[in-house]
Structure 1
């Protein structure tokens, strides 16, 4: 019985997978490009940067959904985050507080906001050892925290 050999290329029908793979590839490419471009424009805190301004504060939830930010020394109100406002500050503080809770740590140690002589800002939680370089989230988000500092200048 003779075997029939077919040497014509198989017909290719577009599959639903191809557009999804192209979209994922494009998204990854844009993400990598954004990271590469963004890295050169950030000024990260370095070992040589010196603190020029600091604020140690506690975050207190209020019954109305606001958050009071009080200086660790003396309890002076340094800021209030109203419900639905300052999402970056609210989210950052919530993340740090949840890390404390997961690790079974006290809420008592204050958070410390620091401005360095090179213009960068960081938020540190001494309880967990976490430090957030605020410039990494863009100048608008860094300025949201900068306004809490006594000098209140976003340099």
Structure 2
């Protein structure tokens, strides 16, 4: 009978295998990034509703959301609430700043003919398919399309 107890740590073959797997993963990621490989996206469809929204942080920690075209109020987000909205906005603003775009530009919320809802930064073309975050989170943004505009 063969004694398979390990003395002195992991078997060398396991460490080499893990190292090769990590190196391969990093190499594939680098090749994909360097060659600008196509991203998988949904086929294009017609927009049925669109609004450009501007988001402004308030001193108390709240957020004001306005229709960028008219300046009318769409919604107010109270301090310590709207965590999904804040997360999406942070991600879009980060990409916006990395691209060297000026702050304060509006983001475009679009309902597509196939029912999808996206929010995008028109200046960087970065966008989020909101249904990917669940229907409850998608509805938060859907309400902005349907909200009456207040003065």
Paired residue for 1:71? 67
- Pairwise CA RMSD: 2.5
How many residues are matched? 118
Deviation of 1:45 (Å): 4.6
TM-score normalised to structure 1 length:
0.67
1:85 and 2:101 matched? no
| 8 A contact 1:45–1:133 mirrored in 2 | no
Deviation at 1:72, TM superposition (A): 0.6
Is 2:48 aligned against 1:52? yes
User: Following TM superposition, where does structure 1 have runs of at least 4 consecutive aligned residues deviating by more than 4 angstroms?
Assistant: none
Partner SS state of residue 145, structure 2: coil
1:132 maps to which of 125, 128, 135: 128
Unaligned ranges ≥5, structure 1 = 1-7, 18-43
User: SS state of the match for residue 79, structure 1?
Assistant: strand
Superposed, which structure 2 residues align to 1:37-48 within 5 Å?
A: 45-47=42-44
Segments of structure 2 that go 5 or more residues without pairing to the other structure are: 11-40
Give the alignment partner of residue 119 of structure 1, picking from 115, 136, 140: 115
Corresponding residue number in structure 2 for 1:27: none
CA distance in 1, matches of 2:107, 2:131: 17
Q: Does residue 109 of structure 1 match 2:105?
A: yes
Larger radius of gyration: 1
